A = this chain, B = another copy of it.
């Protein structure tokens, strides 16, 4: 870990396995988080940073590209770059796992299994998972809560190979993704589809909210590192209790608006 001394001290080299550019990026992020640089402040110039960190310009630029990508800084050519604020990202694992997300908030995750059974894939499910119609799949239906408050209904479909790994797990208490991770299965990439739906009578009863309340629906396709489907899920969150935030960098975004 290298700090940013006012004058160049012992030139840092890769003693640990952490790349220099990442050490620089982390140092700058820490300083933004600590208020050394405040939103609106200009970032020190490249030349300054080269001097302070005792690394080459390329390394500084690589570090800064990371800060740009996560939205910590902004700006354009010719002008000094501007600090925007603390980075605004979440690990995919935490995004996918309700359990680890709730824990990260310091709350107690809970759940109740409504149903869990093997069956045959219908047309939609088969298409979503990239399987032939009629393939064996597992359907899991749960209500998830934080500190006892129901927040989410999960309706998830797993391919047979994934579902069997969960067959003897207590899904009322355990995180599906932690259990899968122990068995070597992780969600490496995912596609999310967000829209709003009225709570059906079943939804309303499960969440303890009025009929027809607005729910934020998140449909997720999860894939492992090899691109094989791990899950297809229809998650319904209480719209009044949860939101999703998206940081859009310059240029192209990962967010797409679609007509249904």
Contacts and interface: CB of A to CB of B under 8 A. Distances in A.
Q: How many copies does the complex hold?
A: 2
Nearest to A199: B214
A256 B89 contact: yes
Contact of A214 (B225, B227, B239): B239
Contact of A250 (B76, B189, B191, B255): B189
Contact of A223 (B74, B92, B190, B216): B74
Contacts of A244: 193-195, 255-258
Interface string A98-119: 0001000100000000000000
Contacts of A258: 242-245
Interface size grouping (class) on chain A: 35 or more
Interface of A: 39-40, 65, 69-71, 74-76, 79, 82, 84, 87-92, 95, 101, 105, 130, 146, 188-198, 212-217, 223, 225-227, 237, 239-260
Given A105-B259, A189-B248, A195-B243, 9 more contacts: A70-B254, A74-B227, A88-B254, A92-B248, A192-B255, A212-B214, A213-B214, A242-B258, A245-B258
